[in-house]
Amino acid sequence: MKSIEEQLAIIKRGVVELISEDELAAKLKEGRPLRVKWGADPSAPDIHFGHSVILHKLRQFQDLGHRVIFVIGDFTARIGDPSGQSKTRKQLTPEEVEQNAQTYKEQVFKVLDKNATEVAYNHNWLSKLNMNEIFELLSKYTVSRMLERDDFMNRFEKERPISIHEFLYPLVQGYDSVEVKADVEVGGTDQKFNMLVGRELQRDYKGKSQVTLVMPQVVITMPLLEGTDGVQKMSKSLGNYIGVTEPPSEIYGKIMSISDTLMRRYYELLTEVPLGEVKAMHPKQAKQRLARTLVARFYSDQAAAAAEAEFESVFKEGKLPQEIELISLPKKEMNIVDLLAETKLAASRTDARRLIRQGGVSVNEQIVKDDKLSVNLSGERLIKVGKRKFLRIRHG
């Protein structure tokens, strides 16, 4: 078993804030498995590498002998987390939440150890609170405390509406920590306020049956991972993401395209590789190792080796990939912009036009120069976007 100092060194890697290290050390000295909470609202169906920063940290806790409590916010997702939002989020239907939750469970276990994870749905306790209990919870915070949040204050100053139910969100997320008896909570920097509320609520509810902890939860914030552009945070809507369920060759190719600076950041936040080793390697070799490591994590060593071989074949020798997906569309003819957006070869119609302007789109190996091009699908067409995306399309 690793010493307290060794555990702390592993846990602190890549962390933005640890509140507080002394309390975490004290909990580790108790010699019991800690209950490490991560809460996620299933507001979208897919998980990308940005989410896996936290998943990787949780897996480190598991490898040290601790237990992850994965709280699926099926109740809070209907409220909508206001963190980082300039306007009220669209509320999801129960059906949308449940569908996304099932996808989340499938994807997180690509990283987490299923045997060291408890999955809990927060509707199991939040939906049962009566009005007296809700009023007691609301009494724990004031409006002025809520307005300490930058996103709330910015909206207030700009006279943008803030719904009362959004004020409730940090309290009910914090109450999750009371219910699951969290020793530690891990989240992105944008979740710091919510996690600190959980820490305070554990103090407030101490002495009641729900809380038996000697110390409230330790809060660990992780950075928001930049996307493949190296500028903005990873986001599916920005088209700069790497999805954990993307094909191995796609993951490999996207990693090989990132900058050397971003590569080192991915190493720090997504792997166990000592940073000294990374610095000693040639940038290309380091990038290849990173790509192999991450493809192997989400698939297998064999898939990583195949992805690397295909990358070398396609990019060095100019060959087509051995396997290119073939899809059928109901229309016999489509505008190229609509085609790229509908098949997800581009993140949006705007992204499609940008790719065409940059000369990054070809049909049957002919570069597309006009975004008004109409593509006849009566015969099979090979669409290529950038250096890594290939798709065969036909009417059918």
- Extract the annotated binding site for ATP: 236
For residue 249, cis peptide bond before it (omega within 30 degrees of 0): no
Give the burial class of 70: count Cβ atoms within 10 A of its Cβ; 0-12 exposed, 13-18 middle, 19 or more buried. buried
Going by the DSSP 8-state scheme, the letter that residue 85 receives in this structure is -
Using alpha carbons only, what angle is made at residue 100 by residues 97 and 101, rounded to the nearest 5 degrees? 80
d(Cα 294, Cα 307) in Å, to the nearest integer? 11
Cβ neighbours of residue 370 closer than 8 Å, sequence gap 6 or more:
336, 356
Q: In 10 A of CB 209, how many CB atoms?
A: 6
Cβ neighbours of residue 312 closer than 8 Å, sequence gap 6 or more:
none
d(Cα 319, Cα 377) in Å, to the nearest integer? 24
Extract the tokens encoding 123: 């509707």
Binding residues: 236
Helix (H) or strand (E) holding 57: helix 49-63
